[in-house]
Amino acid sequence: MAKRIFITATNTDIGKTYVTTHLLKHYAALGFKVGVIKPIETGVEDTPIDGSLLLSLVQSLNPAMTKLDLKDIVPIQFELPAAPYCANGAKPIDLSIVDEAIKKIEPLCDILIIEGAGGLYVPLDKETMMIDLIKRFAAKALLVSHCRLGCINDTLLSIKALQEMNVNFIWTLNCHADDLNFHQVSEPYFKDNFPDFTVFKDDIAHIAKTLLL
């Protein structure tokens, strides 16, 4: 079985796809055969935007992935840009579709990156939240947080949720060029309480190595 890494975040538009693509490139540069899957994508009108990007990239990095198509990479798609619970009218979601896709992808790679949608408590249906997928797929998680005002609260809440679910995880901050006040309004707390905290763009090599442990 490939090493499974689940990319999650404190909310939507935090940078999960950015992190996923850079980890794929990093692992491929180290000689690993990489694979990727985004189990659920919403806001799909004609084609899944994130899924298309991921498929194109992973096929360029691992020729064995050319056997796959978009339905393998994004097995569950909804048109409405909303939580799957709402996009699917609160009906049950058949996750066995994702299980089958993983069975198809995994023999082709050493490392399988699974990209979640939204944050940890995005509801999939009445029984399942996004955080439940991490346990279902027996993956190690990378929690991605932001560097804007509010990142302390968002990060701590998500860390607490993962700890309460006994999820094996590490976390990082995805800072943008315009997060100019991070060093003043948030970084002092992280330095005092998490002296080994990481910023993804600066610490990708360390993060990638730790995810394999």
CATH number at residue 99: 3.40.50.300
Mean pLDDT for the chain? 97
Other CB atoms within 10 Å distance of the CB of residue 83: 22
* pLDDT tier for residue 1 given thresholds of 50, 70 and 90: confident
Contact 2, 86 (CB under 8 A): no
Asked whether the CA dihedral 72, 76, 80, 84 is positive or negative, the reply is: negative
Give residue-wise pLDDT tens across range 31-63: 999 999 999 999 999 999 999 999 999 999 999
pLDDT at 75: 98
Query: Which residue matches tokens 């189990």?
Result: 39
Can you tell me the mean pLDDT for 159-169?
Answer: 98
Q: Which H/E stretch holds residue 70?
A: helix 70-73
Q: Residue 185 — φ and ψ, nearest 5°?
A: -95, -15
Query: In whole angstroms, how far apart are CA 35 and each of 25, 94, 109, 171, 174?
Result: 11, 22, 5, 21, 22
The pTM for the full model equals: 0.97
- State the residue range of the domain holding 47: 3-211
Q: How many domains does the chain have?
A: 1
The pLDDT > 70 percentage for the chain reads: 100
Largest CA distance in the chain: 49
Catalytic residue among 3, 25, 33, 38: 38
Q: Is 38 a catalytic residue?
A: yes
Q: Which secondary structure element, helix H or strand E, spans residue 20, and what is its range? A: helix 16-29
CA distance 139 to 64: 22
Q: What's the token pair of residue 38?
A: 């985004």
Residue 116, H or E segment: strand 111-119
Structure tokens belonging to residue 190 = 């992280």
